[in-house]
Structure 1
Amino acid sequence: MQSRFRPLLFRRKFHIFSKPQQNQSPILIQPNLVSRFRNNHNQAQNPTDCNEDHEFMRSPIPNTSEYLAMNAKALEIQDLLKRTNGNEIEQALTRLKLTLNEDLMLNVLRRHRSDWKPAYIFFNWVCNASGYSPGTGSYNEILDILGRMKRFNEVHQLLDEMSKRDKSLINERTYGIVVNRYAAAHKIEEATEFFYKRIQFGLDLDLVAFQTLLISLCRYKHVEAAEFLFHSKGNEFRHNIKTMNIILNGWCVLGSLREAKRFWNDIVTSRFKPDRFTYGIFINSLTKAGKISTAVKLFQAMWAKGCTPDVAICNCIIDGLCFKKRIPEALEIFQEMNEKDCSPNAATYNSLIKHLCKIQRTEKVNELLTEMTRKGGDCSPNARTYGYLLNAAKKPDEVVKIMERMEGNGCKMMGDTYNLILRLFMGWGDDKRVGSTWVEMERNGLGPDQRSYTIMVHGLYEKGRLGEAMVYYNKMVSKGMVAEPRTRLLVDAIKIKLKDGVQKSEQNI
């Protein structure tokens, strides 16, 4: 397999500063060259489920009186952090005489996922003035918030503090969060360095941790660097099909079918036998590249070779067929799934509903939705299901009905759902519902995030309300959020128009 490895990688000078052990040589990767995950490497085990959010899953909290009281207290703290001047926050928090615990801390921090300053102020107050010592969960949450906003100096300070206080505070999730945020910020050297720092934190340099590093690099498009690490560290971390699946998935997520085919051939000619996930990854890549007929052939070949496709692979084929408007074929596979002991799940139904909504097959959509509700369990409608229904809505009243149905089925709102509703109401010019959606999103700790502000800036601009658009933009920037290039261009245009408007007013005077 080594001889088949692309010579291009070897011709380039790579440079990553690792922390080698006694008889290890540094890894070299050039910086300019060079889809969070469950249980460290589950994403690599089943990367075909492309509809899943790879953020760390959070345990649901029961709706008890104790929780409601804690939630109310968290909301009080959130309001205090929002309205109080920075110099007075610590005194105001002290006056609240809080009884702190991990649940309350996590509740407060999660309300500020997109606003690192108040979250960091609150966390520092807890550490320095409250008398309470945060646990690993709270440290991990604030590390994730800071990493998301690229506040790596603060991340380093917290890691040093955790290490000095108790090394056991730093666990596998801490490592996963930090290495993932480094990769997201395209800090490949730092991500690799942090892998070798595991020893300092009392963690082993094991295969799972190495796979976590590769997953993070691949997720943020640094697949070439990940593949180089994969080959260069082959003696230290023995290759297996799971690790190879990570690299294959990286090329597929990057959208490079050519490289995916090359690495698929490397796997096929290696001593490792492609498993279900290998097939699933490559089928996913083929469908995304529009090669649905080839994907279907490979799907059928799986059955012939005794490698039974799972529901994720079936979902991939169904979605690919629907995208190509081959919905009758997709419905045939959907019907065959039960016959072949491969029960559909919510993602299966969602793929069909998404495309049926686009062609306004309302009756079939309602039939599938009713079936999902009746089956329950893994088939229950989720936020994505209702998102497709919302996207197909034509007027505000339809949105309200869908939200009521969503609430009736016990499906909780998510940040993306709020942003979708916000965009719809903005497009229809329903200012009252825009305002109520914004307030509800904020009170539930699900935003506003960078996407929310972007929706408001662009929506207000389209309606000619330039001053209001600038207010939202300035607030977004003040919270440390980075505007998208298209938003910055829009803001430049707004400034020119506002300046021209002022000049014309002065001339008229």
Structure 2
Amino acid sequence: MLNQLLVKPAQRNLNTSRFRLPLATLTTVPESPPPPIDATVAKLVLESDPKTLSQTLSNPTFQWTPLLVDNILKRLWNHGPKALQFFKHLDRHPTYIHSISSFEHAVDIAARLREYNTAWALMGRMRALRLGPTPKTFAILAERYATGGKAHKAVKVFLSMHEHGCHQDLNSFNTILDVLCKTKRVEMANNLFKTLRGRFKCDSVSYNIMANGWCLIKRTPMALQVLKEMVERGVDPTMVTYNTLLKGYFRCGQLNEAWEFFLEMKKRKCEIDVVTYTTMVHGFGVAGEVKRSKRVFDAMVKEGLVPSVATYNALIQVLCKKDSVQNALLVFDEMVGKGCVPNLTTYNVVIRGLCHSGEIERGVEFMKRMEENGCMPSVQTYNVVIRYYCDEGELEKGLELFEKMGNGTCLPNLDTYNILISAMFVRKKSEDLVLAGKLLIEMVGRGFLPRKFTFNRVLNGLVLTGNREFANEILRMQSRSGRVLRHVKL
């Protein structure tokens, strides 16, 4: 049904694949091993008719457990409506009862879709089942309000916790401070901190959060003021405090100040750790001081500290960006040789570096290598390769990877759709712009809200290439989503 809806009315009787570009033959994708059970169920949910989904999920062959349900919700993360559909249908299962963690995943998904009433209803359901809501549930909702530009609502969520049977404590206070700081509402966090710090008897974690907030918005003098206030109030600074300030200097490009601060840490006999050195390696490297970055790395090893995965990742990223990907690969091999297992970030950094240096196929080989080593590519991994394929004009290869994402193992996100839609405008062909329209419809159906610019661009492109009827179909869809278009002449 979805495929039929994505094809223009005059073409609906044709046997077409989901997102095929004409005039090209896609390469054969090698067979993959059978997907895990959570990926299989996720694919089943994606392809099921909502009217029969409850019956499908009641099949006795499915042995539902909280872990399985949580993993399926994670698989469906980038298709919010289907994820909530799955959760709600399973909530009516005759024997299975959702766990707290599954409810919290559902609350998170609903709030991400800005369906706040649904999120609150789910929290009400949790309370009815005596499963919460927990402090984590409120933290999730507060974070979604804050990232959605509703910081005041986030604070209200925190202040109203007791009204829903969940009392505030120091941990929940630190959480709301962290949420506000990470969404750059540091002034608001600071006001809340000053008002309530006595009530919650703030600890080093509270002060570290505030120091990090000021560093995030590049106001290191204010972060230093937090350090001073900590000492005055009898709260001992921790290595997290010092490392936060060190990172703050690098973020502001204050390399000399960062080095002097590091030397001061040594002078005061702070127990300098791997995080400190990782911060230095990354900070100097990103600023273009590659030799200095390497010297710090070597000094760390000489002092007997074993580099962590994060340290290697920092150095590899620096070499990819500021030196050469070949040198980065030497460090990668050294890392593996010393028994340090690369993680998702390591592979993503290397793949990005290879693609950036024009070695896209080698980057794809690294994707296969990571899978063989039990590290599954993330949506960010796919997005990097798809973006570089599209930049090189290899649209068919980009779409081939996009098709692979649709099997329930790693669904595309908003960035994936934006990358592909933008790529459809390079050749300015009618069929490419029709495909852009289909992608736009699918992304909206998956709960993503395109920017007005994206709507306008696709509509204008369709009109200019003679696809006025399809443009009208998208315009009707846009009206239902509540967007107001500008400068569109149909």
Q: 2:288 is aligned with what amino acid?
A: K
CA distance in 1, matches of 2:468, 2:433: 16
Q: 1:416 is aligned with what amino acid?
A: Q
Give the SS at the match of 1:461.
coil
- Match of residue 482 from structure 1: 449
The C-alpha deviation readout for 1:68-119, integer Å capped at 9, x for no partner, is 99933x4444334333443343344446763322233223211211222122
CA distance in 2, matches of 1:480, 1:222: 26
Cα 1:242/1:392, change in 2 over 3 Å: closer
- Match of residue 390 from structure 1: 351
Q: Any conservation in 1 of the 2:40–2:408 contact (CA below 8 Å)?
A: no
Q: Does 1:71 align with 2:36?
A: yes
Cα 1:326/1:360, change in 2 over 3 Å: closer
Q: Any conservation in 2 of the 1:426–1:459 contact (CA below 8 Å)?
A: yes
Q: Is the deviation greater in 298-307 or in 421-430?
A: 421-430
CA distance in 2, matches of 1:78, 1:185: 27
Q: Any conservation in 1 of the 2:239–2:271 contact (CA below 8 Å)?
A: yes
The counterpart of 1:380, out of the listed 328, 336, 341, is 341
CA distance in 2, matches of 1:259, 1:463: 50
CA shift for structure 1 position 229: 0.8
CA shift for structure 1 position 158: 0.8
CA distance in 1, matches of 2:224, 2:409: 43
Q: 1:71 is aligned with what amino acid?
A: P
Match runs of 1:371-450 below 5 Å:
371-376=334-339, 379-393=340-354, 394-450=358-414
- Match of residue 99 from structure 2: 135
CA shift for structure 1 position 147: 1.9
The C-alpha deviation readout for 1:203-247, integer Å capped at 9, x for no partner, is 442211111111111111111111111111122112333211111
CA distance in 1, matches of 2:48, 2:368: 35
The counterpart of 1:177, out of the listed 120, 123, 140, is 140
The C-alpha deviation readout for 1:302-336, integer Å capped at 9, x for no partner, is 01011122212211111121123222221111111
CA distance in 2, matches of 1:90, 1:361: 54
Q: Any conservation in 1 of the 2:319–2:327 contact (CA below 8 Å)?
A: yes
CA distance in 2, matches of 1:89, 1:232: 50
CA distance in 2, matches of 1:504, 1:189: 43
Q: Any conservation in 2 of the 1:71–1:104 contact (CA below 8 Å)?
A: no
- Match of residue 458 from structure 1: 422
- Match of residue 221 from structure 1: 184
Cα 1:373/1:503, change in 2 over 3 Å: closer
CA distance in 2, matches of 1:128, 1:380: 43
- Match of residue 471 from structure 1: 438
- Match of residue 296 from structure 1: 259
Q: 2:74 is aligned with what amino acid?
A: R
CA shift for structure 1 position 201: 5.0
Q: Is the deviation greater in 240-249 or in 289-298?
A: 240-249
The counterpart of 2:119, out of the listed 155, 159, 175, is 155
Cα 1:387/1:100, change in 2 over 3 Å: closer
Cα 1:444/1:94, change in 2 over 3 Å: closer
Q: 1:145 is aligned with what amino acid?
A: I
Q: 2:260 is aligned with what amino acid?
A: K
Any stretches of 5+ residues in structure 1 without a counterpart?
1-67
Q: Any conservation in 1 of the 2:386–2:401 contact (CA below 8 Å)?
A: yes
- Match of residue 353 from structure 1: 316
Cα 1:362/1:112, change in 2 over 3 Å: closer
CA distance in 1, matches of 2:400, 2:34: 23
The C-alpha deviation readout for 1:248-301, integer Å capped at 9, x for no partner, is 111212333454354445446554343322211111111011101110110110
Q: Any conservation in 1 of the 2:123–2:132 contact (CA below 8 Å)?
A: no
Q: Is the deviation greater in 435-444 or in 387-396?
A: 435-444
Q: 1:390 is aligned with what amino acid?
A: I
CA distance in 2, matches of 1:224, 1:117: 35
CA distance in 2, matches of 1:329, 1:189: 44
Q: RMSD over aligned Cα, in angstroms?
A: 2.7
- Match of residue 22 from structure 1: none
Q: Does 1:102 align with 2:66?
A: yes
Give the SS at the match of 2:371.
helix
Q: 1:482 is aligned with what amino acid?
A: L
Q: Is the deviation greater in 252-261 or in 442-451?
A: 252-261
Q: 1:425 is aligned with what amino acid?
A: Y
CA distance in 2, matches of 1:351, 1:391: 14
Cα 1:98/1:358, change in 2 over 3 Å: closer
Q: Any conservation in 1 of the 2:54–2:90 contact (CA below 8 Å)?
A: no
The counterpart of 1:287, out of the listed 234, 250, 268, is 250
- Match of residue 35 from structure 1: none
- Match of residue 296 from structure 2: 333
Q: Calculate the TM-score normalised by the size of structure 1.
A: 0.77
The counterpart of 2:78, out of the listed 114, 129, 147, is 114
CA distance in 1, matches of 2:220, 2:160: 35
CA distance in 2, matches of 1:339, 1:395: 34
CA distance in 1, matches of 2:221, 2:435: 47
Q: Is the deviation greater in 140-149 or in 282-291?
A: 140-149
CA shift for structure 1 position 140: 1.5
Q: 1:223 is aligned with what amino acid?
A: V
The C-alpha deviation readout for 1:44-77, integer Å capped at 9, x for no partner, is xxxxxxxxxxxxxxxxxxxxxxxx99933x4444
The counterpart of 2:461, out of the listed 497, 504, 507, is 497
Q: 2:389 is aligned with what amino acid?
A: F
CA distance in 1, matches of 2:103, 2:402: 28
The C-alpha deviation readout for 1:335-373, integer Å capped at 9, x for no partner, is 111233432112222222222223553553233111210
Percent of counterpart pairs with the same letter?
24
- Match of residue 481 from structure 2: none
Match runs of 1:150-299 below 5 Å:
150-166=114-130, 168-257=131-220, 259-267=222-230, 270-299=233-262
Cα 1:95/1:405, change in 2 over 3 Å: closer
CA distance in 2, matches of 1:408, 1:503: 44
CA distance in 1, matches of 2:395, 2:465: 25
Q: Does 1:344 align with 2:311?
A: no
Q: 2:129 is aligned with what amino acid?
A: R
CA shift for structure 1 position 433: 3.4
CA distance in 2, matches of 1:269, 1:424: 52
The number of equivalent residue pairs is 431
CA distance in 2, matches of 1:405, 1:338: 28
Q: Any conservation in 1 of the 2:389–2:398 contact (CA below 8 Å)?
A: yes
Match runs of 1:5-84 below 5 Å:
71-72=36-37, 74-84=38-48
